[in-house]
């Protein structure tokens, strides 16, 4: 079939959603379909949030099938539209009135939320089938829009390259650090890892890869706490170094707020590493089982540090948890995803 994968993107910003779209197109092509990625620029601020939704209504997409992904790409008009929902505009839903949302509880904010909910519901109802990337996203859709959807899990980037053993380039001893790869933005809560460093009893270090709006603040906080010898902000890293960082880690710490899916968790399990997360981390909790594949903490820096110390003090248990996690993601593959979406 001729298939268009539709997605939205803020110019000059790239992350998990963009990789997800590109990997889906590649999987469709591998399955023999003629697939193209169609993206329109969008803006997330409240004053312009409806503009890109309107633009999608006007874009002609000639294809046998369209697969719409993130907000507002599912506003595209097509007789054969399937939605694989990454997320809606969370700032207007579960994150409304949070520090990273400009949708408040004032009259204008509430009216914008009401209107967007109405628009979303109508656009999503048009689809022949609705899938989501996780149970968390499906639950939000049911709670806010009254629509059902089926979770459809998929492999993370680098899934086939990640491994459980090895050392980071430069001779780092395996297992002397815990790792996190994430955007340095508020909803990812990277500051928890920095704060945890001062509570560690073991000599375990913390390595964080990624860039984002909090990078400068994190550097400052590291200096204030005097933990520059314990915390490394590695910045952007290549795929090769990312694979090495996962391989050489004792475990992975990933405690975002109400994550949609959580590539970091799946990548950690693919590399055979246990994951430390938080009880409010959303999609990560569909994979991390406390004491079995990692630790589910209360989300405080003190508990995260204690979980890291437990990994350092019982490396056999850490390896066992990582092995169990690896088994839980081993069956993920793109062929079944493509088959499900195209049958729908």
- Residue 127: phi, psi to the nearest 5? -70, 150
The token pair that represents 137 in the structure block:
């996203």
pTM of the full structure: 0.86
The token pair that represents 344 in the structure block:
């729908």
Alpha-carbon gap, residue 295 to 167, rounded angstroms: 24
Contact status, residue 315 vs residue 273, Cβ threshold 8 Å: no
**Domains of the chain: which residue ranges?**
2-152, 177-329
Per-residue CA distances from 120 to 19, 75, 76, 86, 133 (Å)? 24, 8, 11, 14, 17
16-30 vs 334-343: helix crossing angle, rounded to 10: 80
3-state helix, strand, coil in the chain (%, to 5): 40, 15, 40
SS3 216: helix
Residue 174, pLDDT > 70, answer: no
Strands 65-68, 34-41: parallel, antiparallel or unpaired by DSSP?
unpaired
Q: Which residues of 50-87 are buried (b: 16+ CB within 10 A; e: fewer)?
A: eebbebbeeeebebebbbbbbbbbbbbebeebbbbbbb
Which CATH topology does 177-329 take? Rossmann fold (3.40.50)
- Residue 22: phi, psi to the nearest 5? -65, -40
Domain 2-152 falls under CATH 3.40.50.2000: yes
**pLDDT the model gives residue 171:** 41
84-133 residue pLDDT tens:
999 999 889 988 888 878 899 999 999 999 999 999 999 999 999 999 99
SS3 141: helix
**pLDDT the model gives residue 100:** 79
190-229 residue pLDDT tens:
999 999 999 999 999 999 999 999 999 999 999 999 999 9
Same fold, 2-152 and 177-329: yes
Categorize the per-residue pLDDT at 167 as very low, low, confident or very high, splitting at 50, 70 and 90.
Answer: low
**pLDDT the model gives residue 332:** 94
Categorize the per-residue pLDDT at 266 as very low, low, confident or very high, splitting at 50, 70 and 90.
Answer: very high
Alpha helices in the chain (DSSP H): 16-30, 49-58, 107-125, 135-145, 191-197, 215-225, 239-248, 263-270, 301-313, 315-329, 334-343
């Amino acid at each position: 079939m001729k298939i268009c994968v539709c997605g939205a993107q803020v110019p000059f910003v790239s992350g998990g959603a963009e990789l997800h779209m590109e990997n889906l197109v590649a999987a469709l092509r591998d399955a023999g379909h003629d697939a193209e990625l169609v993206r329109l620029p969008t803006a997330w601020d409240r004053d312009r949030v409806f503009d890109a939704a309107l633009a999608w209504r006007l874009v002609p997409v000639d294809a046998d099938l369209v697969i719409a992904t993130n907000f507002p790409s599912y506003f595209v008009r097509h007789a054969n539209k399937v939605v694989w929902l990454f997320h809606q505009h969370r700032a207007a839903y579960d994150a409304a009135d949070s520090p990273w949302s400009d949708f408040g509880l004032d009259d204008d904010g509430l009216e914008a939320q009401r209107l967007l909910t109405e628009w979303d519901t109508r656009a999503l109802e048009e689809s022949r089938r609705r899938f989501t990337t996780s149970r968390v996203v499906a639950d939000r859709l049911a709670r806010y829009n009254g629509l059902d959807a089926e979770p459809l899990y998929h492999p993370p980037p680098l899934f086939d390259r990640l491994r459980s053993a090895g050392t980071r380039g430069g001779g780092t001893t395996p297992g002397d650090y815990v790792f996190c790869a994430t955007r340095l933005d508020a909803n990812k809560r990277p500051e928890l890892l920095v704060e945890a460093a001062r509570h560690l009893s073991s000599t375990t270090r913390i390595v964080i890869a990624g860039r984002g709006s909090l990078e400068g603040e994190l550097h400052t906080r590291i200096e204030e706490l005097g933990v520059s010898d314990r915390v490394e902000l590695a910045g952007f890293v290549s795929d090769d170094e990312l694979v090495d960082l996962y391989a050489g880690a004792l475990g992975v710490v990933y405690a975002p707020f109400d994550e949609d899916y959580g590539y970091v968790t799946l990548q950690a399990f693919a590399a055979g590493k246990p994951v430390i997360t938080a009880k409010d981390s959303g999609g990560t909790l569909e994979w991390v089982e406390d004491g079995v594949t990692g630790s589910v903490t209360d989300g405080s820096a003190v508990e995260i540090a204690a979980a890291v110390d437990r990994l350092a003090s019982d490396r056999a248990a850490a390896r066992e948890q990582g092995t169990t996690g690896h088994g839980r993601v081993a069956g993920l593959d793109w062929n079944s995803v493509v088959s499900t979406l195209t049958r729908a």
